[in-house]
Amino acid sequence: MEVFKDKLALSAYLSNKTKVGFVPTMGALHKGHVSLIKLSEQQCETTVCSIFVNPAQFNDKNDLLNYPRTTEKDLALLKEAGCNVVFIPEVDEIYPPHLPMQHYDFGAMEKVMEGEHRPGHFNGMANVVQRLFAIVQPHFAFFGEKDFQQLCVVKQLVKLLNLPITIVPGAIIREEDGLAMSSRNMLLTPTERAQASGIYETLTRIKTNSKGSNPHELLQYAHENFRNYPLITPEYIQFAYADNLENVKALDKSRAIILFIAVKLGKVRLIDNMLVYE
């Protein structure tokens, strides 16, 4: 496994590779990331993973400060997973002073849910993804469906910039009790961790009961269900159409609908989602 800190050296190394798969990450890697690496290995000749905690996408300073950093462990995990190349740049390498931040317009999609609750987050994320894409020049890039809205924004970015990159989604990987794998899970205290399964439990409960009820009743029911998990404070619970993330008012079952949840659990913010109508 080759490890690069320097973007020019990485670009030169990758320049003659024919089928490059790219998994951008912020480190603190888990089985969800490994599943993306494996997806890339199945369809690409060279798999590149980046580890970069992107300051531009954190709207909360403490969140950036507390974000878990486990580089040694990450490298061991990537080697074991068969990853070919790792890129671990310093902040200046990605954000040199002469390169101005871009402002992207993703339309209505960036104004709801994560966009509404984390101002500037998607623009910061898009800036780093564009820069990483320019360095790695992948043919395929892999993004997990846990961050479904991010996946939609990245697809939009590729369209907007007309990039020759295929964006491949990876299914959510869950712990045994249903908690979606996330780097932030390791920040939970044992008591918080015990209640964190309430997110998945609520998603499945709503999916099971979604047949005859209207969205308003179902969301009310979801909020009530969280009373069984007093450490969890829901931030938003919302149905949205999978194709454009438009809020679902009356269920149009001819379109795929996803239930999205964001919660605070102590100081940790977690998100999850589930397809309720295919």
Q: Among all residues, which ones are annotated catalytic?
A: 33
Can you give the C-alpha Rg of the chain in angstroms? 19
Q: How are strands ordered across the β-sheet holding 232-241?
A: 232-241, 257-265, 268-277
CB of 256 to ligand PAF, least distance (A): 22
Rank residues 39 and 248 by Cβ distance to ligand PAF and give the closer one.
39
Rank residues 204 and 235 by Cβ distance to ligand PAF and give the closer one.
235
Rank residues 125 and 248 by Cβ distance to ligand PAF and give the closer one.
125
Q: Give all strands (DSSP E) within 72-207, no chain letters.
A: 85-87, 140-144, 166-170
* Residue carrying structure tokens 């997806």: 39
CA atoms of 269 and 62, how far apart (whole Å): 12
CB of 57 to ligand PAF, least distance (A): 6
b vs e for 45-68, b when ≥16 Cβ sit within 10 Å of the residue's Cβ?
ebbbbbbbbbebbbeeeebeeebe
CB of 24 to ligand PAF, least distance (A): 4
Rank residues 93 and 147 by Cβ distance to ligand PAF and give the closer one.
147
Q: Which two tokens stand for residue 200?
A: 């998945």
CB of 208 to ligand PAF, least distance (A): 29
Helix (H), strand (E) at residue 81: helix 71-81
Q: Which two tokens stand for residue 192?
A: 């918080």
**Contact residues: ligand PAF, CB under 6 A:** 24-26, 54, 57, 125, 128-129, 147, 150
